Amino acid sequence: MSAPERIPPRGGVTPPGEPSAPDEPSPPGEPTAPDDSAALELLAHGELTVRGRIREASNAVLYCSVALDGQRGTCVYKPVAGERPLWDFPDGTLARREVAAYEVSRATGWDLVPPTVLRDGPYGEGMCQLWVEADDGVELLALVEGEEPGPGWKAVGFAEVGGGRTALLVHADDPRLRRLAVLDAVINNADRKGGHLLPTVDGGLYAIDHGTTFNAEDRLRTLLWGWATEPLTEEARGVLRTVAAELGEGLPLAARLARLITSAELDALRARVADLLRTGRHPEPGGQWPAIPWPPV
């Protein structure tokens, strides 16, 4: 089994050389770049300064400040040297998969993944991603009593909650999550957990931790199964047609992805997009791979 990253809610960082403190407050935020192009320039060419390490991550995840020509921001830096080997992904490829997920997200126009680049840093090559502050007051996942999810929620499945009891795991019937479910199906995300969802105070939604994506074999594991087998929205079908066109041989998106994932993985990506357009429906669990990641948060 893979060793997915167990990222806590954003804000828990430990200064280098100091022990973890469970109640340590988040470092003060710094202004971030105003748009993707400026953010990408800042992330790719700014001076990285490591401020701390994210606690409880199975791979090295470093909280950094970044500065370039008076522009300042905060970001996550994941050096390739800190990646834990996985049985089902080639060693040293997780950072590139994170960047590939951003490229596909940007192509959809949904911008569900924060700006992400591949660059050299203090510990060698790694992925660098703009930091996003989450709104902890937004509830997207819940455990409920009974067998029905209730209005505004979609059922995922039953979970043991201790003492021989079970509860129904549900996620919000939210169009932002539905878009993300489509993106995850496209990139073949093997680890979509609740802790990877970052709703923002302005009503947006970002998703993080995409190192276990783009496997050439079916590896989709997610908490967002609530729309399984339902027809895709017309918006999603239009987006998929756009992505399919941009994945054509020699086109810029395909060329960028070819530098990040293998040719077999790129062909599998094209096939997944084509299959979603052919069926016109959200996928369902295949049965040959655990459908829900563990732990779910």
* 118-127 pLDDT tens trace: 999 999 999 9
Q: Is the pLDDT reported for residue 34 higher than 50?
A: no
Of residues 225, 196, 226, 205, the one with CA closest to residue 98: 196
Q: State the average pLDDT for the chain.
A: 88
Q: Would you place residue 31 in the very low, low, confident or very high pLDDT band (cuts 50, 70, 90)?
A: very low
Residues 147, 158: Cα–Cα separation, whole Å: 9
Mean per-residue pLDDT, 282-290: 86
- Point out the least confidently predicted range of 43-47, 158-162, 258-262: 158-162
Cα-only R_g, the chain: 19
User: pLDDT value at position 293?
Assistant: 87
Say if CB 52 and CB 94 are below 8 A apart.
no
Residue spans of alpha helices (H) in 116-213: 175-187
Of 80, 74, 67, which is closest to residue 119 (Cα–Cα)? Answer: 80
Tell me, yes or no, if the pTM score tops 0.95. no
**The predicted structure's pLDDT at residue 160:** 78
Give the Cα separation of 227 and 184 in Å (integer): 13
pLDDT in tens, 194-251: 999 999 999 999 999 999 999 999 999 999 999 999 999 999 999 999 999 999 999 9
Return the beta strands (E) in 31-89 as ranges: 47-54, 62-68, 71-79
- Rounded distance, CA 39 to CA 29, Å? 15
Using alpha carbons, select from 110, 128, 247, 116 the residue that is nearest to residue 182.
110
At a CB cut-off of 8 Å and minimum separation 6, what does 115 contact? 33, 36, 39, 40, 43, 102, 129, 130
At 164, the pLDDT band (50, 70, 90 cuts) reads: confident
